[in-house]
Amino acid sequence: MIVTTSIIPSFLETRKASEEICTPLHTEDYVVQPIVDVSPPKWHLGHTTWFFEEFILAKYVQGYKRFHPDFAFVFNSYYESVGKRVVRTDRGNLSRPTVKQVYEYRNYVTNALHRFLEDNENDNVLDLVEIGIHHEKQHQELLLTDIKYILGHNPLLPAYHETFNEHSKSLKPKTNFITIDEGVYQIGHTSTDFCYDNELGVHKVYLHQFKIADQLVTNKDFLAFIDAGGYRDSLLWHAEGWDWIQNNNIESPLYWHQIDESYQQYTLSGMQPLNLDAPVTHISYYEAFAYAQWADCRLPTEFEWEVAQKYFDWGHRWEWTESAYLPYPGYSKAPGALGEYNGKFMVNQKVLRGGSIATSKNHTRYTYRNFFHPHLRWQFTGFRVVKDNQSHKI
């Protein structure tokens, strides 16, 4: 006898979670887009809704009436093959639809899909709903980090939530290094649980022996790098990283504020003294790499990370790896618009592994491949180091 679990509870819970993230916001906070990488919260709420409407309701529900004929234009993100879209830099210029209308849109689509699912749990639709759920969970992560950016770059520096703790997990006083032996290892997603297409293509890789840190680099560690002049020594940096810190006057992680002699850090609970024992966060790949150069270490590849992860804790910071975001052997993207989900970003980006405090429940796994351009810092990024031999400064 096969017992299948309905997808409806997971769907409803996900829809609700997005809205709960926004509970502390004022209407105005939903609207702005201070940099191109940060989207207005109401856009995230609308876009995740449009995804369900466009790819399921409009295709599978007979006689479905769209909530508004122009919302597909407003809330499409990057699906070139589905029609025109509001270019990304314009999202913050849109005062309409209002936040209220966006919530009405959410309810309309949530209810319509709920009703539909009660009668129609066919496999094709279920797969799409599952993708839609995970798509929305990804946007929940962006929602929180975009909100942090919006509030953390406002001159009034308002808190998101007074009791939000960005660092709930304690680190050990001393980092140990785990040795992984040389050999052939298997990479990729094998279970029947959900995963993205970029995790498929199970394949073998050959790894040489390496030693990987069992915990993340801390604020204290990173402060030592700053104090040693790390941001002023061009030999530690990629050429593009060096240009980037020069052109943007980068001298510390994002959200650090040097006030008199010491550092404060903007967090989701407002300005706080820098917590030296917390893992460093909001750093770019360039900074992670420069730190590793300085410490005579290196970053792990994504394969080293995947093989070693069972020996250490992770999930508190997204971890930069040395790996470029590329397709696995045998990778083939889905046909049509959904094929635009991952494959078209597989150039000029770096893989991150793990997850962060902004990651939604049940969203990440050890085969999960996140990816960002190397200069981006607004996610809860972090890193651990690897060494190939004995000499290192840590």
- Residue 196 found at the interface with its own copies (CB under 8 A): no
Mark the segment that binds its own copies (CB under 8 A) among 10-18, 26-34, 127-135, 249-257.
26-34
Query: Between the CA of residue 122 and those of 15, 23, 62, 65, what are the distances in Å?
Result: 21, 34, 15, 21
Of 64, 312, 345, 366, the one binding its own copies by CB under 8 A? 345
| 276 DSSP 8-state letter | T
Candidates 51-59, 257-265, 347-355, 363-371: pick the segment binding its own copies (CB under 8 A). 347-355
Tokens for 222, please give them: 């990173």
Tell me the closest approach of the beta carbon of residue 72 to its own copies, in angstroms: 11
Report if residue 158 touches its own copies, rule: CB under 8 A. Answer: yes
Evaluate whether 286 touches 178 at the Cβ level (below 8 Å). no
Residue 352 binding its own copies, by CB under 8 A: no
Q: Is 179 in the site for its own copies (CB under 8 A)?
A: no
User: Which residue from 326, 366, 376, 394 is in contact with its own copies, where contact means CB under 8 A?
Assistant: 326
Q: Binding its own copies by CB under 8 A: which of 16, 257, 344, 365?
A: 344
Give the strand order in the sheet containing 270-273. 256-259, 262-267, 270-273
Q: Which residues touch 295 (CB under 8 Å, ≥6 apart)?
A: 221, 225, 385, 392, 393, 394
Binding segment for its own copies among 31-39, 119-127, 162-170, 212-220 (CB under 8 A)? 31-39
d(C-alpha 333, C-alpha 330), whole Å: 10
141 near 360, Cβ under 8 Å? yes
Q: How far apart are CA 292 and CA 342, in angstroms?
A: 29
CB 104 within 8 A of CB 17: no
CB closer to its own copies out of 101 and 275: 101
- Binding span for its own copies by CB under 8 A among 43-51, 73-81, 120-128, 377-385: 73-81
Name the residue with tokens 């959904």. 338
Q: Based on the shown chain and the rule CB under 8 A, indicate whether residue 261 belongs to the binding site for its own copies.
A: no
* Cβ closest to its own copies, residue 31 vs residue 112: 31
30 touching its own copies, by CB under 8 A:
yes
Residue closer to its own copies (CB basis): 155 or 173: 155
Number of DSSP helices (H) and strands (E) in the chain, helices first: 10, 12
**Nearer of residues 42 and 363 to its own copies, judged by Cβ:** 42
Longest dimension (CA), the chain: 69
Task: Decide: is 165 part of the binding site for its own copies (CB under 8 A).
Answer: no
> Mask of contacts with its own copies, 271-310, x by CB under 8 A?
--------------xx--x--------x------------
User: Among 46, 188, 230, 241, which residue sits at the site for its own copies (rule: CB under 8 A)?
Assistant: 241
Residue pointed to by tokens 């939530």: 161
Segments of the chain assigned E as strands: 177-180, 183-187, 203-207, 210-213, 256-259, 262-267, 270-273, 318-324, 350-354, 370-372, 381-382, 386-387
Q: Which of 6, 111, 190, 348 is in the footprint of its own copies by CB under 8 A?
A: 348
Site membership for its own copies, residue 80 (CB under 8 A): yes
Binding part of the chain for its own copies, among 56-64, 211-219, 266-274, 322-330 by CB under 8 A, reads 322-330
Query: Which residues face 206 on adjacent strands?
Result: 184
DSSP string, 227-272: HTTGGG-GGGS-HHHHHHHHHHT--S-TTEEEETTEEEEEETTEEE
Query: What burial class does residue 196 get, using C-beta atoms within 10 Å of its C-beta: 0-12 exposed, 13-18 middle, 19+ buried?
Result: middle
Which residues of this chain interact with its own copies, rule CB under 8 A? 26-34, 42, 70, 73-74, 78, 80-81, 86, 90, 92-99, 150-151, 153-156, 158, 184, 203-206, 208, 234-235, 237-242, 285-286, 289, 298, 322-324, 326-327, 329-330, 336, 339-340, 344-348, 350, 374, 388
